[in-house]
Amino acid sequence: MILALETSCDDTCAAVLTPAGAVRSNVISSQGVHDQFGGVVPEIASRHHLQLVNAVVDDALARARTTLDDVSLVAVTQGPGLVGALLVGVATAKAIASARGLPLAPVDHLQGHVAASFLPGEATTAAGAAPPLEPPFLCLVASGGHTFLAHVRDHASFDVLGRTLDDAAGEAFDKGARLLGLPYPGGPHLERLAADGDPQAFAFPVADKLAGLDFSFSGLKTALLYKVRDLGEQETQARRADLAAAFQRAIVEALAHRVERAVEETGVQRVSIGGGVAANGALRARLAGVVDQLHVPPRALCTDNAAMIGAAARHLTALRPGEYDDLDAYPTGRRDL
Ligand code: KG4
Ligand code: ZN
Are 140 and 286 in a shared domain? yes
Give the separation between CA 100 and CA 233, rounded to whole angstroms: 60
Are 134 and 272 in a shared domain? yes
| Residue 138 lies inside a defined structural domain of this protein | yes
| Residue 337 lies inside a defined structural domain of this protein | no
Residue 67, amino acid: T
CATH number of the CATH domain containing 61: 3.30.420.40
304 Cβ closer than 6 Å to some ligand 1 atom: yes
Are 180 and 73 in a shared domain? no
Are 291 and 199 in a shared domain? yes
Site to probe by mutation for ligand 1, drawn from 26, 82, 171, 173 as the one with most ligand atoms within 8 Å of Cβ, is 173
Q: Which atom of ligand 1 is nearest to the CA of 275?
A: 1
Residue 147, amino acid: T
Chain mean pLDDT for the chain: 93
Nearest-CA residue for ligand 1 atom 8 is 276
How do residues 171-206 score in pLDDT, each as one tens digit? 999 999 999 999 988 999 999 999 999 999 999 988
Are 112 and 143 in a shared domain? no
What's the pLDDT at 126? 64
Burial letters for 168-207: b for 16+ Cβ neighbours within 10 Å, e otherwise?
A: bbbbbbbbbbbbbebebbbbbbbbebbeebebeebebebb
Are 196 and 139 in a shared domain? yes
What's the pLDDT at 12? 93
177 Cβ closer than 6 Å to some ligand 1 atom: no
| Residue 122 lies inside a defined structural domain of this protein | no
| Residue 55 lies inside a defined structural domain of this protein | yes
86 Cβ closer than 6 Å to some ligand 1 atom: no
145 Cβ closer than 6 Å to some ligand 1 atom: yes
pTM greater than 0.85 (yes/no): yes
Mean pLDDT of 6-32: 93
How do residues 234-273 score in pLDDT, each as one tens digit? 999 999 999 999 999 999 999 999 999 999 999 999 999 9
Nearest listed ligand to the Cα of residue 184: 1
279 Cβ closer than 6 Å to some ligand 1 atom: yes
187 Cβ closer than 6 Å to some ligand 1 atom: yes
Are 136 and 69 in a shared domain? no
Are 153 and 290 in a shared domain? yes
| Residue 318 lies inside a defined structural domain of this protein | no
Q: What's the total number of domains in the chain?
A: 2
Are 89 and 158 in a shared domain? no
Are 223 and 306 in a shared domain? no
How do residues 43-64 score in pLDDT, each as one tens digit? 888 898 999 999 999 999 999 9
| Residue 107 lies inside a defined structural domain of this protein | yes
| Residue 143 lies inside a defined structural domain of this protein | yes
The stretches of 73-123 forming alpha helices (DSSP H) are 83-100, 109-115
What's the pLDDT at 128? 74
Are 73 and 217 in a shared domain? no
Q: Is the pLDDT of residue 336 over 60?
A: no
Domain of residue 248 covers: 128-296
275 Cβ closer than 6 Å to some ligand 1 atom: yes
Give the separation between CA 240 and CA 44, rounded to whole angstroms: 32
Are 290 and 306 in a shared domain? no
| Residue 329 lies inside a defined structural domain of this protein | no
- Which of 132, 120, 134, 87 lies closest to 106 in space, CA to CA? 87
Nearest-CA residue for ligand 1 atom 3 is 303
